[in-house]
Amino acid sequence: MCGIVGYVGFQEALPIIISGLEKLEYRGYDSAGVAVYGNGKVSVTRAIGKLGELKKLLNERSAEAGGSLGIGHTRWATHGKPSENNAHPHTAGRVSLIHNGIVENYVELREELEKEGSQFKSETDTEIAAHLVNKYLNKGLDPFDALKAACADIRGSYAFLAIDSQNPDRILVAKNSTPIIIGIGKNEMFVASDIPAVLPYTREVVILEDGDMADVRCDGVRIENNGKPVQRKVQTITWDPITAQKGGYKHYMLKEIHEQAQAVTDTFRGRVEQEEGAISLPELAFDDKELAGIQRIVFVACGTAWHACLVAKFYIESFTQIPCEVDYASEFRYRQAVFDKNTLVIAVSQSGETADTLAAIELAGTRSPTMAVCNVLGSSIARKVGNVLFTHAGPEISVASTKAFTTQLVAVYLLAIYLAQRRGTLAPEKVGELTHSLLHLPAAIQQAVEVNSAVEKVAQRFRGAKDFLYLGRGICYPIALEGALKLKEISYVHAEGYPAGEMKHGPIALIDENMPVVVLLQRSKELFEKTISNLREVEARGGKIIAVTDFEGSKELHALTQNVIEVPFVSDFLSPLIMTIPLQLLAYHIAVFNGTDVDLPRNLAKSVTVE
């Protein structure tokens, strides 16, 4: 996820671009850059770090001042570490280009372009797009057609903005699976990844659709889709600036819950070979000998990431038969943990900066091969380990983790299938089945998010409860833990997660009419029936049941409680991803009813960089 802004008109472009980028910093902030046309040429300035660093640099120079055409970018790295060279805009000949998205076939395109003489200055997937557009310009194509031709070569997701130094009155735009809007002014036009960037200047907005290409000039916009001219409706935005920043949602947490279908897609995009039914993770540089030598896997993490590791254990053991353990990072280093050259130690961390996880993986690296599953390129953990599998959740602003968790689950699922493929522990048909089920996940997550108003009603019914018990079995037990953690951290209500079968060994003593029991029921016949038996024990003691299930229309369950939240079924292994969504929403709504500061809960920090 990155933020992009463009301006063409009669005003000075630079202040408008910078103010737009300030509104979009929530989309990425590891580096930023601008390209502005003025005095007969395009000047590019880029800086690593937050936008403030770029502003400082721009204050020291004046090359960009005065021009009234420009583009700007705030980056969240996906390919290539955060650095000045990898920051956007990328330039090639006449072209300056910015990008939000992922070019899946960039390796092969880069090889072809290099053979043709292009010289690359960055490690990014984006730079190939600048070279492609320049190549087509050099063949005599109009800039709009050159971008079109480039997009025909590219596979992946993108919002591209390009300017051509020989046509300094146009911004060329292309969109596929990544948001882009055009703000309509009077003799001026604004382009951005999100509405807040243009709101100070105009409330008239066109939202582009997938496949749209736009030729934006100060006095009009030409839009084509599939080579044919199309009209897109001009919408009038009535949001106030703060609501706009949160995409119209009341809190970042709710916005991020709704972003999960996209974040999950971004995480498996380019890693699933649909035709072969296989997983491709070229970023992992394990050689065959190294892989064959792995006799044990140990995951280390904290909090929500630790819950993702508990699900990972199911994936690893089921697909690869490699024994797997999960340790709290804070515990791993304060005991005589056993690990050696045949143990692969994997850190899972959204931020890549959690002090305990960093220290644990540093210690592991003294004796074992290490890797990380991480959301932040260039973070301390990502730099410390041999191999990194990045989640592509984009920045998570709410302190309570939501989309980082579901993307971690996708990443460890990909990893487990990949290891199984390389070690030959699953039949190719099984690999194909597991791989293809991923493709159904985004739609199922989207449907699960739509239970929002049903969950809100349940939350209203139970808003006054002082304690909650969360129960799950098998692969959904970690989700019970995660649901309980979400409730604790944002609503300050006590909650505990338990394996459903363990209830009778202690927690059952707590159950009475004041104790809501949130239970996860997977469709799997054996576990469903066993969990129903556990619920009868709850019912017999007057406990109130809130059930989340991917088994539609179970009479037994509906007879036990009126609080049943049904979500779609994709596969047994992907159930945890979908079951998580109603639990995130339940915690969210109870917190809102309790009037807590949902996005910034008391005593918590987004990244725990101290022990």
- The residues that are catalytic are 2, 606
| Contact present, 244 and 237 (Cβ < 8 Å) | yes
Strands (E), 313-369: 324-328, 343-349
When asked if residue 256 is in the footprint of ligand F6R (CB under 6 A), the reply is no
| Contact present, 573 and 314 (Cβ < 8 Å) | yes
The least distance separating ligand F6R from the CB of residue 341, rounded to whole angstroms, comes to 26
Q: What residues contact 341, with CB distance under 8 A and at least 6 apart?
A: 293, 367, 368, 369
| Contact present, 253 and 598 (Cβ < 8 Å) | yes
How many Å apart are CA 326 and CA 413, to the nearest integer? 15
Q: Which residue is nearest to ligand F6R (CB)?
A: 303
How many other CB atoms sit within 10 Å of the CB of residue 526? 10
When asked if residue 584 is in the footprint of ligand F6R (CB under 6 A), the reply is no
Q: Classify the phi-psi angles of 360: left when phi > 0, otherwise alpha if psi is within -120 to 50, otherwise beta.
A: alpha
When asked if residue 304 is in the footprint of ligand F6R (CB under 6 A), the reply is yes
Q: Closer CB to ligand F6R, residue 55 or residue 606?
A: 606
Binding mask 536-575 for ligand F6R (x = CB under 6 A): ----------------------------------------
Site for ligand F6R in 367-396 (CB under 6 A): none
When asked if residue 401 is in the footprint of ligand F6R (CB under 6 A), the reply is yes
Q: Closer CB to ligand F6R, residue 193 or residue 349?
A: 349
Q: Closer CB to ligand F6R, residue 197 or residue 301?
A: 301
Nearest CA to 94 among 33, 47, 35, 174? 35
- Measured N-to-C along each axis, helices 428-438 and 403-423 cross at an angle, to the nearest 10 degrees, of 160
The least distance separating ligand F6R from the CB of residue 396, rounded to whole angstroms, comes to 8
Q: Closer CB to ligand F6R, residue 303 or residue 474?
A: 303
Judged by CB under 6 A, the residue of 165, 177, 318, 607 near ligand F6R is 607
When asked if residue 608 is in the footprint of ligand F6R (CB under 6 A), the reply is yes
The least distance separating ligand F6R from the CB of residue 482, rounded to whole angstroms, comes to 8
> Which residue type, as a one-letter code, is found at position 18?
I
How many Å apart are CA 432 and CA 573, to the nearest integer? 14
Nearest CA to 168 among 223, 98, 96? 96
**What single-letter DSSP state applies at residue 94?**
T
Judged by CB under 6 A, the residue of 91, 96, 354, 421 near ligand F6R is 354
When asked if residue 260 is in the footprint of ligand F6R (CB under 6 A), the reply is no
Q: Closer CB to ligand F6R, residue 42 or residue 581?
A: 581
Buried (b) or exposed (e) across 410-420, using 16+ Cβ within 10 A? Answer: bbbbbbbbbbb
The least distance separating ligand F6R from the CB of residue 578, rounded to whole angstroms, comes to 19
Binding mask 274-303 for ligand F6R (x = CB under 6 A): ----------------------------xx
Q: In this structure, what are the phi and psi dihedrals at residue 30, rounded to the nearest 5 degrees?
A: -95, -15
3-state per-residue secondary structure call for 526-539: HHHHHHHHHHHHHH
Q: Closer CB to ligand F6R, residue 176 or residue 408?
A: 408
Site for ligand F6R in 478-507 (CB under 6 A): 489
Site for ligand F6R in 334-353 (CB under 6 A): 349-351
Q: Which residues bind ligand F6R (CB under 6 A)?
A: 302-305, 349-351, 354, 357, 400-401, 489, 607-608
